[in-house]
Amino acid sequence: MSNAPYSYWNKTELHEHLHRQAIKLGAPKWVFPLLDEALTSDLWDPVKDFDGCSVVQDQFHPCLACFIHDYLWKCGMGGLGSDKIFYFLMLLDGTKKFKAQRRWLAVRIGWLGYYKWGHFRKRNVNKCTQVVTDALDAIG
């Protein structure tokens, strides 16, 4: 736990904040089950494991796009699918398309060049849950 900026929050506070943010942003229906899954998963502790946007500043604190993306990566469901969800949620929160594309490219490079292999070594590779699959189907 080298960086845990939300360690003074609890899961209920994170849930309330992120849920309100999703409503305010006009998030599609599939975001809410994904958010609930991320907050209740036994695969990680969002209060300790979520570190915000790792390289860039969160537009919102905490940021819905970064929260969902961290959940998927840290729970072994990273890769192209999680990066597609990240990109969609960045556009939803008002990130300019070019900036979202740059961030998407950065996480793709990070995944393919480093994180993917670390997950393989740790045997932290999991199939996407049905909720994640439904989200990806909704995005197209």
pLDDT at 40: 94
pLDDT at 54: 58
Closest CA to 139 of 99, 104, 109: 104
| Domain positions in the chain | 11-139
pLDDT at 82: 92
Q: Whole-prediction pTM value? A: 0.85
59/80 Cα distance (integer angstroms): 23
pLDDT at 25: 94
Low-confidence stretches of the chain (pLDDT beneath 50): 1
114: exposed, middle or buried (Cβ count in 10 Å: 0-12, 13-18, 19+): exposed
pLDDT at 133: 94
* Peptide bond between residue 62 and the one before it cis (omega within 30 degrees of 0): yes
- Helices 64-74, 80-92: axis angle to 10 degrees equals 170
pLDDT at 26: 96
